[in-house]
Structure formats: C-alpha cells, structure tokens
Structure 1
Amino acid sequence: MMEVKFQKHEGSSISYVDKGEGMPVVLLHGFCGSSRYWEEVIPELSRNCRVIAPDLPGHGESEPLSNGSTIEAMADRIKELIDGLNLEKVTMFGHSLGGYITLAFAEKYSDQLTGFSLVHSTAYPDSDEAKKGRQGNIEKVMQQGVRPLIDGLVPKLFSPEHKGEEYVETAKEIGYGTTQEGTIHALQAMKVRPDRNLVLENTELPVLLLAGEQDQIIPAEKTFSVTKPNIIHSVIKSSGHMSMYENPKELLREIQAFLSRVNCNNKGSHN
C-alpha cells in the first residue's frame, strides 16, 4: 500500500499520495475510485517525477466538501492542494470524473498547468439519457447505499476479456469505500457539468487524449472531440475504461512520452 498524507483546508481533509522528486505530475482518479487506481503506475512514474495522487472529495480517505459539490468546486479543492504543496505548475492527468475536473481546472487555472490529459474521459456534457441515469443512481444510493451501485457499475468499466480478472474485485473494494455523500455529490456534479470542448479548442497547452480500444463507457469519438496540432489522440489497446489496470504498461508509456514532450526531466532524482 502507498503511504497516504492529509491536508486540511476550511474544515475538510483531503488525502493524497506524494511520491518521488522532479516535475510535479497530478493524477486524478475516476468516479468511486481512489488514488489506489494508480498503484500500478505510480512506482515507475515516480522514479523521474514527483507524483501527487489525491483521493477526490468523498472518495477514498478524503472527506466530502462541506458546500456540496460541483466539478468546479472539486477543481478548486485540487488547486488548494497544489498551492498548499507550493507547486507553481503541474501536469495533470484526469481519469473519467478526474478528466472533467482536469478540464474545469484548465479552464480556470491554465497558468498552473504545463499540460494536461484526459484518460478515458470527455469534454462533452451528459446527454439527456445519461442525466436520467445519474438521477436514477442518486435515488438508488439514497435508498440502498453505495454497494449495489458499485456492483452494477464496476464490471461495465472493464473490457469483456478482462471481466474475470482479480483487479475487477479490487476496483469494487475501492468503490465500496466511497462515502454515500461523496457518491451523490459526484453524480450530481457529473449530471450538471457543462460542455467544455471550448477549453480544448482554445488551449495552447500540450494535451493528451487517451481512449480505451474497448471502452463501453466513453467511446473514442467522445474523447477525441477536438483535433489540433497541440493535441495528441491515442488509443490504448486491449483496454476498456480502466487502462491503469487493464494495460498499465501501455498507459505508462503514453504518460511518459507525453511528459517528455512537456519537458519532464527524465534524468531527475531516483528514489
């Protein structure tokens, strides 16, 4: 298990992993995940970079935000974490829900980014059908708690060929640790998030858009919504929505190649 640290801010505590030295890299996990989603990636990545992987509010060991939650409020909380660690600029990778937060961060605090990436995520808002699904899940969690939601959701995150893998159970176990309040806040936040394709269209920063070849949650065309010279499109083979488990070596290669593009010091300190 990775060592977890805590930062308090205005009464709410956020937990995070902070490992390695060098260029700061922030990894934001997806809905009902935690920093543990990245445990196959962090050891290698932290050999050359300083990796900060928080638990999003209400997820893992982080407390829910006291003022409810929006994608923007979660982006603000990540900024508070980064500022509290005295980091001027970071490269941010956001998986799924983490990608929505990354886009909100890029919209508001682009001067603190050297580049950013959406990992199995999208700049599009929820469709009307998806909004209904979110509302149904909010009601389900209010009535039945988090566990039935996780049992139904997690298998869909993986490609059919990986459904029997041990890490599917790991992802469920992580999901069960999400607070009821945090789950409802995140569902509500995702339901009302705006279209942020303009962020991709307007940014001059290097951007990496990563899609899973067999992603049943967010297909590649939803991820690859903008084409520009500063935006890389890449498909991770043999992966659904969870390449950090399904194909961590290829995900790591993509992350490292992108970081070298945004001037990661590959000869940095080794811990």
Structure 2
Amino acid sequence: MANKPTLILLHGALGSSKSFEFLIPKLEKHFNLITPDFKWHGSRAEGGNGFRMQDLVDDLESILTKDNISNAAVFGFSMGGYVALALALQKPDLFNRIMTLGTKLDWKAEQAKQEVKMLDPEKIQEKVPQFAEHLKSQHAENWSALCTQTAEMMFDLGSHPLLNTANVNKLELPVRLGLGDQDHMVSLEETNAFYKALQNGQMQVFPKTKHPIERVNADLLSEAILQFFK
C-alpha cells in the first residue's frame, strides 16, 4: 500500500474536489489520491477580489510545494488541465506526466465572450435552478460570486491565453489530451492541433461522452487513467 504512486486530481471551473467523488472508488486502490480545491472553490470558497488564470497556476504551485510534491502525476479536468499544463511550462521539474479531459486549450476573445454569457448567476438561478443548487452544494453561498469571478477569468484568458501551440511544444513530459466525442465546449480541431504540437503527446477520444465530469463513464475514465499513469 505504501508503494502506491501519488496522483493529483484537479477539478474544472465552477467545480471542486467533490467533482471526483464518482471516480475515487475506482482509483483509490491504485493511487494515493490528492484532490485539492483551488482557491476560491469548494472548501476554500471565499468572497473578495476576482482571480485570473495565473492566480490558479500560482495556487497549484503552492499546493505542490506545500506538500513537497515534485515529479507529479496529474489528471486535470477542463480548467484543471489548463492550470497543470500552464504550470508545467513555467516549472517543468514539478511534473512527471499530465492527462487532461475536456480542457479548452485554444482561447480567443470572441470565444471567451460566448462562454462568459453562460455564467450570469441571476440567469442560472432563473433558467437552470438545478444547476444553481448543484453549485450551492459545491461552494455554499459563494457560488454566485464564483460565477462572476470565473467569467472575469475567462474573459481575461481570451485576450491573454497562457497556452498556445507554439509554447506547448516546449513541454517534454508525456501529455495525454482527452476529449469526449459529444463535448460541445471543446472542439476536436483545437485538441488535435495542440496534440500535434506536443513533443510527447497523446490524444484520446472518449465515446458517448459529454463535457460535465459527473456525466463521464467512471469505468471508461478510470481505465484510461490507469493505463496512462501505471
């Protein structure tokens, strides 16, 4: 048991460590799992000033250094994958290998505007009350502020992306980019373009898979994670 490798699971935007509750039973026999909440999310939810992607990257670095983790194996869903790749560019020695799922890699200003439109907390409460309740279960009363902060982060990312096909080419570690075949938030074209730009890249398409992590087949995803990391 003591020889189990460590695997870090990073949640997506508007998510928290609770996002992986469906997956943990499939993985905990094989890995020492670390499932942190990013600052402003979940157990670390708090009001206050907005954040940018670089703030989340800095937060991940703090999480790794606080626990004296280097050579990290990371699975990042959506935003979590972006954060991990961005930090790997800045501090490559912190990572061993990275797998992502549903990570939007190609951010542009117009695309960011479309994403931001879906993050109005009043509209979410009015039109998608079940999603509002889900966000409350993850972030308590901070959920509406988090929506606003996340929108600001995405808007800034559209103008100042941290990743592009030129700089990810500098990554030497193994990276697998995963994508659901029914993901309407991330395109096959952008994922394929970044996959081709990687030095040591892989791409995996998951069948019958939409974007929300809670709707991903746990058996399918856990098998892919085991295959890549073990």
Q: In the alignment, is residue 132 of structure 1 matched against residue 99 of structure 2?
A: no
Aligned equivalent of 1:115: 97
Instruction: Report the TM-score when normalising by structure 2.
Output: 0.83
Structure-to-structure mapping, 1:1-271, within 5 angstroms: 22-64=4-46, 68-128=50-110, 130-137=111-118, 140-141=120-121, 144=122, 147-148=125-126, 151=128, 173-176=133-136, 177-178=138-139, 179=142, 180-193=144-157, 194=161, 196-197=163-164, 198-225=166-193, 226-227=195-196, 228=198, 230-260=200-230
Aligned equivalent of 1:268: none
Which consecutive residues of structure 1, in runs of 5 or more, have no partner in the other structure?
1-19, 153-168, 261-271
Q: Quote the Cα distance in structure 1 between the aligned partners of 2:156 and 2:186.
A: 17
Higher share in helix: 2
Q: Secondary structure at the match of 2:74?
A: strand
Segment drifting more, 110-119 vs 87-96: 87-96
Q: Quote the Cα distance in structure 2 between the aligned partners of 1:52 and 1:172.
A: 27
Distance change (3 Å), C-alpha of 1:106 and 1:66: farther
Distance change (3 Å), C-alpha of 1:70 and 1:64: farther
Segment drifting more, 105-114 vs 86-95: 86-95
Q: Quote the Cα distance in structure 2 between the aligned partners of 1:259 and 1:81.
A: 21
Q: Secondary structure at the match of 1:22?
A: coil
Q: Quote the Cα distance in structure 2 between the aligned partners of 1:65 and 1:94.
A: 24
State the shift of 1:136 in Å. 3.7
> Partner amino acid for 1:196?
L
| 8 Å contact kept, 1:57–1:63 | yes
State the shift of 1:242 in Å. 2.8
Distance change (3 Å), C-alpha of 1:148 and 1:220: farther
Q: Quote the Cα distance in structure 2 between the aligned partners of 1:132 and 1:100.
A: 18
Q: What does the per-residue CA deviation read over 1:70-90, in whole Å, with 9 as the maximum and x for residues that have no partner? A: 111111112211222222221
State the shift of 1:244 in Å. 5.0
| 8 Å contact kept, 1:32–1:59 | yes
> Partner amino acid for 2:181?
E
Which consecutive residues of structure 2, in runs of 5 or more, have no partner in the other structure?
none
> Partner amino acid for 1:212?
G
Q: Secondary structure at the match of 1:61?
A: helix
Segment drifting more, 103-112 vs 61-70: 61-70
Q: Quote the Cα distance in structure 2 between the aligned partners of 1:57 and 1:145.
A: 25
Q: Quote the Cα distance in structure 1 between the aligned partners of 2:123 and 2:61.
A: 30
Provide the aligned length of Structure 1 versus Structure 2: 219
Q: What does the per-residue CA deviation read over 1:140-160, in whole Å, with 9 as the maximum and x for residues that have no partner? A: 33xx286347x28xxxxxxxx
Distance change (3 Å), C-alpha of 1:51 and 1:39: same
> Partner amino acid for 1:235?
V
Q: Secondary structure at the match of 2:97?
A: strand
Q: Quote the Cα distance in structure 2 between the aligned partners of 1:62 and 1:232.
A: 33
Distance change (3 Å), C-alpha of 1:255 and 1:90: same
